[in-house]
Structure formats: structure tokens, C-alpha cells
Homo-oligomer: A and B are copies of this chain.
Amino acid sequence: MSSLKPCVDALYEGVDRVAQSIPGVPKSEVLLVRLLMLTAGALLREFENKLKPYGMNDSDFRTLMMLYSSEDGSATPGELCALAEQKPTNMTRIANALAKKALISRSHATHDRRQVLLRITPAGRRFVNKMLPPMFPPLMENFACFSSTERKTFEKLLKKLALHIDPTVDTDDTP
């Protein structure tokens, strides 16, 4: 799309200017959270551009990959929701879309007939095997600005953050 540089510059300037009007602005944290969202957004858009030719978006793809990488190639919508931070509503639609492309199959679980069992099909596996490798080089390019030490550090911090932020979310959505 367009360069992120002006966005980043404007962000730094903007935060500085706001901090002059309002006391106590946690500049560092604001910058972090905005940079995170900006970067993640850009990466997401780039990835979805690559998926578009296949008629897929990132959620569809992630769901397919979760099935691909699951123990026995199957899972229930509920399990997938939990692992993908998705709502059941959306998972229904994703499953419909993937099933329509014959990349996954749907059946009822035997022991609990409320559950639905989604399973990746051989065609689904072939699809992943074929479309995934070409995506590696551009993905690696994205992080080419990092030394391997930096990549490790970044991953460590990111993981720490991911595991930390969660409890906070819980505390204040039921007033």
C-alpha cells in the first residue's frame, strides 16, 4: 500500500503534542501500543493480499492451518474458536466457506451429537502443501531487518507481552 514512515512520524509528533496539553500521558506505552497495531495491520494487509488470489482471508487460512497442524486433522468449531480467538458465529461462516471449497469436511461427533467435527480433506492438505512455500520468502523479507539476535529478543519480548496482557482484559468488561 503506502509507506508507514509518515504514519510513524506523525505518531511520534502527535504523542508529543498531546503530552503538552494533557499531563501524565504515558508516552512510551502509547507509542508501543500504536506501533504494534500499525505494524500488525500492515503485515496483515500484506498477507491478505497474498491470500486473495485463493479467495481466502487470514481467518479462513488460520482455521485451515489449525486443522492441518492438529493431531489427527480434525477439531470441533468450539476448539478452533478458543485457539483462534474467534467467536462461534464467525467460525460457522469460516467452516461454511472452507467446506464449500472442499478443503474441509463436516460431520457430527459420535459421542456428543451437539458437536460438529471439522476435518481437513486430502485436497485441503494438498492445497496447503502447494500454496504455503511460495509465501516463505516474502515473509522472511519482512523480518530481514533483524539480526538473528534481534529476532530472538523481539520474539521473547513479544511472547512475554502476549502472555501478560490477557488478565487485564478480563477485569473491566463487566461493570
Contact B85 A142 (CB under 8 A): no
User: Which of A23-66 touch B at CB < 8 Å?
Assistant: 24-26, 28-33, 35-47, 49-50, 58, 65-66
Contact A31 B155 (CB under 8 A): yes
Contact B163 A4 (CB under 8 A): yes
The answer to the question of A2 belonging to the interface, with a C-beta cut-off of 8 Å to chain B, is: yes
The answer to the question of A153 belonging to the interface, with a C-beta cut-off of 8 Å to chain B, is: yes
Contact A168 B142 (CB under 8 A): yes
Complex-state Cα separation, A65 to B22, whole angstroms = 12
Enumerate chain B residues within 8 angstroms of A41, measured Cβ to Cβ: 40, 85
A interface residue numbers (CB < 8 A to B): 1-8, 10, 13-15, 17-18, 21-22, 24-26, 28-33, 35-47, 49-50, 58, 65-66, 68-70, 82-85, 128-129, 132-133, 136, 138-146, 150-155, 157-170, 172-173
Q: How far is the CB of A84 from chain B (nearest CB, A)?
A: 7
Enumerate chain B residues within 8 angstroms of A133, measured Cβ to Cβ: 22, 24
Given contacts A40-B36, A151-B28, contact A8 B143 (CB under 8 A): no
